[in-house]
Amino acid sequence: MSETTSLPQIPTSLDSLRESFAGQSSSTRALLLMAPLIAFELLVFVIPFLILLRISFAEPSSDLVYEPGTWSVEAYAGVIDNILAFDLFWSIVSYSFLLGVVVTLVTVVLALFYAYAIWRATGLLKTLLLFSVVLPLLTTLVIRTYAFTPLLSPSGTVNELLLSVGLLSEPIQFVPSTVGAVIGQVYIVLPYAVLAIYSVLATMDWHVVEAARDLGASRPRSVAEVVVPQAMPGIIVAAVISFAWSVGAYAAPGLLSENLTFALEVERLLLGGQRYPTAAALSVIMLVLMLVTISIMFAVLNRFGGDFDLA
Amino acid sequence: MHRERLENAAFRAGYGALLVFMLLPLLVVVVTSFSASGRVAFPPDSYSLVWYADFFESTRWLDAFTNSIVIGVGTALLATVLGVLGAFGQELETDSVVGSVVAPVVLIPLLIPPVILGITLLLYFNEVGLRGSYASIILAHTLWATPLVYFVMRSVFSRFDWQQLDAAHDLGAGPVRSFVHVVLPNVKHGIFVGALLAFIISLQEFVMALFLSTPGTETIPVLAWTEIRQALDPMVSVVSTFLILISVGTIVVAAIATNLEWVSKQLS
């Protein structure tokens, strides 16, 4: 190991570590270290998903929840027919996606602003802003959602305040409604989105923005053309997280809205109707639709960031 | 610069509004827990501690509380072992094919709606006969907590001075001995923070727990959800206040135990 003491070798000390830590069988040892994690992911994630897939292809049964050992595309056909006929499943899937898109748009815009404010703030204000993001994360989403009921209900705090200052003549029905569900869901995903974007901004050089300003860019323009493109990796993570969690949202629409989302329907099928194959098929279809949307989102946002880099 | 001043004012109003939006719901929860009436209103008409007294007399809530702690500790232990070993193995062998597959597989569960994970695991645990056990919920929560521990540890290991291991090896320490005596002391803060994150994740998670829990394994968020759907009373605020206190307390303990500078470096 004498060569590791000479200066040029220092950057490659990880390589020498591989030798020193494990002799010649370093990859075997690394695999051995990863083995429990790999086994866990196989047993609790991969295999359960294969079982879900298998059950989605089983025949429904009247007395059992599904008929083991049977193969059938009945459940998929049922869900797809229902969607194509603009029936119940169509309204459920489209409402879930609508919620996902609206929440994602609102969240990304607010998160970008919030992360930018934290980035520019100093001292106590910075601590306070960060604290306000982290604190809700420490609370279960049941409670984060529940808190909006006394605030937004027709006789709630917000309505009473707006009525008393004369901005409203009669109370607005925020909950239960889609607006209430959007507000609740934005509140749930906003902290994650802010932290995702902030973590990228924190490594960014403020002087670049200053340079843009010195060259005559207005503040909005410097944000749009310098900050946003550089923050794009964080924005992509924020958008993907917001979208994935909002399409599959359960608590906020369940408590603050009266429309059925796919998450609520899956629960109803599973625990109420005992229709396992249909619940499984709906989940698989929804997951595929989501993954397709996320890939498109990824590609579009990536290109958006890339174009700005060239300019 | 009139325009500049206007922009600054708008900027301040903006983040002021966001601060209120983020903190008001939590304030509502804590304040309504001190309500004297059975109605959840903000601000309450009068204040008392009756709902706190009720909480400590309710075996149902106290049982749920115990369940949450048991499941949280189980999740923290399992996720920490899996995450620390996995991240260390990954750091040793960054280029291997298995390594490049492990990272995304560990991450994917975070991006799948918890409802889908919930039904998937419900069907699975039914098949293997684990339904209704603590283990089923611990395993489900570990699926979410492990990526967090894993990514905290990846960043901790990436800052670790690997030459220390060379030195240990030169002095004759074997792999296990050098891991325990050289690597662990260097990354113990990271492990501690990872374990606490896993605990908090488990304490709060509710969709998977809702699907998997049975009357004996109900966690606090699951019980809170069923209560909220029946009627809104300040008891849920009391429980929420306790949950917030536990989470904040955990973070404060972490901050004191590790040292503030290190934690703030992790956050920024």
Q: List the Cα angle B17/B20/B25 in 5-degree steps.
A: 140
Which residue among B102, B166, B200 places its CB closest to the CB of A37? B102
CA dihedral sign, ordered A251, B60, B246, B87: negative
Domain with residue B233: its CATH number is 1.10.3720.10
| Interface contact flag, A280 B240, Cβ < 8 Å | no
Evaluate whether residue B33 is within a structural domain.
no
pLDDT in tens, B248-259: 888 788 777 766
Residue B252 lies in a domain: yes
Look at residue B9 and tell me if it is in a domain: no
Furthest-apart CA pair in chain B: how many Å? 72
Q: Say how many domains are in chain A.
A: 1
Q: Is residue A8 part of a domain?
A: no
Percent of chain A residues past pLDDT 70, beyond the cut: 87
Distance CA A38, CA B101 (A): 10
pLDDT value at A91 more than 60: yes
Is A61 a domain residue?
no
- pLDDT score for A60: 79
Residue B181 lies in a domain: yes
| Residue B9 near chain A (CB below 8 Å) | no
Phi, psi of A153 (to 5 degrees): -65, 160
Domain presence at residue A161: yes
Is the model's pLDDT at B218 over the cut of 50?
yes
A215 inside domain = yes
Cα–Cα distance measured from residue B91 to residue A57, given in angstroms and rounded to the nearest whole number = 40
Of B18, B143, B207, residue with least CA distance to A253: B207
CB atoms within 10 A of CB B197: 23
Which residues in chain B have their CB less than 8 angstroms from residue A280's CB?
A: 119, 123
- Residue A310's pLDDT band, with cuts at 50, 70 and 90, is very low
Q: For the residues A245-254, what does the mean pLDDT come to?
A: 90
- Name which residue leads in pLDDT, A253 or A155: A253
Region B38-59: mean pLDDT is 85
Greater model confidence, B191 or B266: B191
Domain count, chain B: 1
Examine residue A262 and state whether it is found in any structural domain, yes or no: yes
**Distance from C-alpha of A52 to C-alpha of A48, rounded to nearest angstrom:** 6
Query: Which pair of tokens denotes residue B211?
Result: 């699907």
Question: Does the distance separating the beta carbons of A4 and B105 come in below 8 Å?
Answer: no
Nearest to B113 among A46, A110, A248 (CB): A248
Give me the pLDDT at residue B260, please. Answer: 58
What residue has token string 């200052």? A165
CB proximity under 8 Å: A 108-127 to B: 110, 113-114, 117
A179 inside domain: yes
What CATH number is attached to the domain comprising A176? 1.10.3720.10
Residue B190 lies inside a defined structural domain of this protein: yes
CB contact under 8 A, B25 and A29: no
Q: Give the range of the structural domain holding residue A219, as residue numbers without chain letter.
A: 90-302
What letters, b where the CB count within 10 A reaches 16 and e where it falls short, cover A142-153? bbbbbbbbbbbb
CB contact under 8 A, B116 and A37: no
pLDDT digits (tens, 9 = 90+) for A44-70: 999 999 999 998 998 877 666 777 778
The answer for A 120-179 residues in CB contact with B (under 8 A) is 128-130, 132-136, 138-144, 146-151, 155-157
Residue A63 burial (C-beta neighbours within 10 Å; 0-12, 13-18, 19+): exposed
pLDDT classification of A25: cutoffs 50, 70, 90: low
Q: Please give, rounded to a whole number of angstroms, the shortest distance from the CA of B241 to a CA of chain A.
A: 9
| Region of poorest pLDDT, from A192-196, A233-237, B90-94 | B90-94
**What integer pLDDT is reported at residue B250 of this predicted model?**
81
- CA A192 to chain centroid, in Å, comes to 8
A46 at interface of B, judged by CB pairs closer than 8 A: yes
Residue B18 maps to a domain: no
Strands of B72-203 (E only): list them: none
State percent of chain B over pLDDT 90: 29
Average pLDDT over residues B65-76: 95
A168 in any annotated domain: yes
Contacts of A301 (CB under 8 A, 6+ apart): A232, A235, A236, A239
B244 vs B255: CA distance, rounded Å: 16
Contacts of B124 in chain A (CB under 8 A): 47-48, 51-52
Length of chain A equals 311
**Interface ipTM:** 0.86
The answer to whether A217 contacts chain B (CB < 8 Å) is no
Asked if residue B212 belongs to a domain, the reply is: yes
The reply to whether residue B99 touches residue A130, judged by beta carbons under 8 angstroms, is no
Q: pLDDT tens-digit profile of B127-181?
A: 898 888 999 999 999 999 999 899 888 888 888 777 887 788 788 887 788 888 8
